[in-house]
Amino acid sequence: MIALKTLPREVIPAYGSVVVEKIANRLYKIKKIIEKPSPDEIQSDLAIVGKSILTPEVFEYLKKATPSKKGEVILAEVFDTMLNDGMAIYGYEVKGEWLECGDKLKWLKSFLYMALKDPLYSKDLKEYIKNIK
């Protein structure tokens, strides 16, 4: 099961995109995964948000995966191989805030979001931010 989030089409090229068949409310059967698609490859407004529930079969595919030039195994590529082999993979569209940490600004925004929601820090942090000149 892969977590999905509806995003504006113009930002989807920064993420993994999916081609899906809707099964039920927020539940999809994934037909194809396109890592960092070009605008003409985008077939849905659903992006992969980096959270998954993995079955034992995934780990068998991970053992056989070829690392990238950077030495990384790309999970989306492993999922796509599984799909090509006829295995079923499902996606669930999550609700709520998606807090990203992929670069410094996204991390800072996520950190501030959580800190401002925390009853222990919220009041003092809001006062501090208000008084920054």
Q: Across 1-133, where does the E strand assignment appear?
A: 2-6, 16-24, 27-35, 46-52, 90-93
Residues 57-86 as b/e (b if ≥16 CB within 10 A, e otherwise) read ebeebeeeeeeeeeeeebbbbbbbebbeee
C-alpha angle 95-98-99 in degrees, rounded to nearest 5: 155
pLDDT at 98 (0 to 100): 85
12-27 mean pLDDT: 93
Spatial distance between the Cα atoms of 10 and 24, rounded to a whole number of angstroms: 26
pLDDT at 4 (0 to 100): 96
Please state, for a pLDDT cut of 90, what percent of the chain lies above it: 69
Task: Tell me if 123 sits within 8 A of 131, measured CB to CB.
Answer: no
**Domain limits, the chain:** 2-97, 99-133
Q: How many CB atoms lie within 10 A of CB 90?
A: 14
pLDDT at 28 (0 to 100): 97
Each residue's pLDDT tens digit, 70-118 = 898 988 889 989 999 999 999 999 998 888 888 899 999 999 999 999 9
pLDDT at 68 (0 to 100): 85
Q: How many CB atoms lie within 10 A of CB 96?
A: 6
Return the CATH number of the domain spanning residue range 2-97.
3.90.550.10
pLDDT at 83 (0 to 100): 95
pLDDT at 126 (0 to 100): 94
pLDDT at 97 (0 to 100): 84
32-36 mean pLDDT: 89
Q: Is 57's pLDDT higher than 90? A: yes
Residue 50's pLDDT band (cuts 50, 70, 90): confident
Spatial distance between the Cα atoms of 32 and 81, rounded to a whole number of angstroms: 10
What are 76's two structure tokens? 């989306």
**Per-residue H/E/C for 38-65:** CHHHCCCCEEEEEEECCCHHHHHHHHHC
